[in-house]
Chain A
Amino acid sequence: MKAISKKFRLTKKVFSFPYILFLLLFVVVPLVLILVNAFLDADKHLTFDNFKVFFGSASSMIVLGNSLLVGVITTLLCLLIGYPVAYILSNMSSGRMLVLLYVLPMFINFLIRTLATKAIFMALDVELGMGTVLFGMVYNYLPFMIMPLHTTISGIDKSYIEAAQDLGANKATVFLKTTLPLSVSGIISGITMVFIPTISTYAISQLLSNGKIFLFGDSIQLSFEQGLYGVGSIMSLVMLAFVLVSNLIMNKFNRNSDAVRRSLW
């Protein structure tokens, strides 16, 4: 009996094969195709022109620059608004239930939320432009900042803070030297969860600026819609690079904070 179980144990990994095949086919191959298309022209010949077209054109660089700007401002605003919320909530006894109220909008489709804000802006006669786009972005992504921050801050062992107080630190020092450093991993994941979707967002900026402001996600979609697979692929690769770099940073910080915790023990 044992022998059979051992044999089955060995073969149980077979169960993962269909999914591995699926991942290869529908996740890996499509990304490889993007990479290949970046080097192909319209007639499927090898070319480097796509790079020249993308990196050489002022308009696409402006779109990329605008997106990065909107991404940085949105992320900073979310952090500035969201950190106090997460911090105050983590000090409240009912914070765990209350934080739900702040992340709940996340479960409502972003189009519904965006269109609702747009309707209100129009009713109030607010001119749609950069201001409304930024408001919409912060409104949409604030929950994504609050959630990881709250998880990290409420997970901090209160005895560190007590120890700092006992050792004579005042409130500001306790916050700056204990709470803030211990919540860095939450800050980093919050930044990633806001920055990446913001720069690659599709539709929000168009809706909230009546098509005046065009961000990177929109231009990726547009190039593929116009059949410019080569340039679109380059843009996707640029986006992919942002995703990978931010993920590397996030992993590094998460590991570091784990290491800090372990070395403290």
Chain B
Amino acid sequence: MVTKIKNFFEKFYLLIILAILYAPIILLIIYSFSNSANFNFSQGFNFKAYEAIFTSDKSPELWAAIGNTFLIATVSSVIAAVMGTFASIGIFHLGKRARRLVENVNQFPIINSEIVMAVSLMVFFVTFAFPQGYLRLIIAHIAFCTPYVVLSVLPKLESMDPNIYEAALDLGANPFTAMTKVMIPIISPGIMSGFVMAFIMSMDDFIITQINKGADTGINTLSTYIYSDARVQGLEPFWYALFSIIFIIMVATVFSVNFAKARKQKRKQKEANA
């Protein structure tokens, strides 16, 4: 009896917290079909807010911002993945002291407060007169994304059996082939997850982009455009629709990634048992 009551309270608590966490998001999704900005269905159920994503007078700016978000995220996460992979291979072969030093510096963009990283880069760009615009943004994004790539590739290198690489050399592969055909395929799961993480971090970033985009370039990413548009007059209905779409995509991605991971683990377990 006591455990039953305890169980009930535990479930109840979990549900309450879940409800609070999701209430704003769910209300947003429901009212995205109302084409209203203040939570009423006076216009009935309709898709006008979704149409407005394409037809509102802000659409050109909105789509330019979405385009910029993807452009910056793609360029900087690809560069971060490539540089981070080679960096990890290099760091892995550094001496003990040098390796610890580099790993500590690599840790810095991760632990540092975003605002400090943002203003320090801004001061740097201004001091050395870097051209305003995409160059500054992409460098800044690479700087905060690459550490995550290194962090996800290094453990893969550590767990790799060095004999496999040696075997490739003994079988006549030259070091470069051995690296591209043997080492990199083995560490590719780490590269992939580092790349995905870099892409998401870059897409999600607001503070570093906002401070480094420069006032007169007119460049906006989705998050800086949301800020500049919604700070003044609050959210227009089309934002409700767009946020709902983003949320659904995010949920689907996170769950499918985790589902695939769980399935893979199960299959591995089965293989191990067989």
Contacts and interface: CB of A to CB of B under 8 A. Distances in A.
Interface of A: 1-2, 4-5, 8-10, 12-20, 22-23, 26-31, 33-34, 37, 81, 84-85, 88-89, 97-98, 100-102, 104-105, 107-113, 115-120, 122-123, 139, 142-143, 196-197, 200, 202-203, 206-207, 217, 220-221, 224, 229, 232-233, 236, 239-240, 242-243, 247
A115 B242 CA distance: 13
B112 interface: yes
Contacts of A202: 114-115, 207, 210
A23 B116 contact: no
Given A22-B143, A26-B143, A243-B113, A224 B211 contact: yes
A159 to B, nearest CB: 21
Interface stretch (B11-19, B58-66, B186-194): B11-19
B119 interface: yes
Interface in B25-66: 25, 27-28, 37-39
Nearest to A238: B116
Contact of A13 (B90, B114, B119, B254): B90
Those 4 A-B pairs whose CB atoms lie nearest each other, nearest first = A16-B90, A19-B87, A15-B90, A30-B120
A116 B120 contact: no
Interface string B213-244: 00000000011001100110011000100010
A253 B217 CA distance: 46
B121 to A, nearest CB: 5
Nearest to A207: B231
Given A28-B105, A105-B25, A236-B119, A19 B124 contact: no
Nearest to B166: A5
A89 B17 CA distance: 12
B246 A104 contact: no
Nearest to B146: A19
A220 B115 contact: yes
A107 B250 contact: yes
A23 B106 contact: yes
A117 B24 contact: yes
B113 A139 contact: no
A14 B90 contact: yes
B200 interface: yes
Contact of A108 (B123, B150, B246, B255): B246
B182 interface: no
Given A88-B14, A101-B18, A221-B115, A108 B247 contact: yes
A250 to B, nearest CB: 9
B91 interface: yes
A150 B55 CA distance: 45
B120 A85 contact: no
Contacts of A220: 115-116, 119
A203 B166 contact: no
A118 B234 contact: yes
Contacts of B87: 15-16, 18-20
B127 interface: yes
B222 to A, nearest CB: 8
12 contacts: A13-B98, A16-B94, A19-B150, A108-B25, A113-B24, A117-B24, A120-B23, A143-B21, A196-B113, A206-B231, A221-B118, A236-B120
B115 A13 contact: no
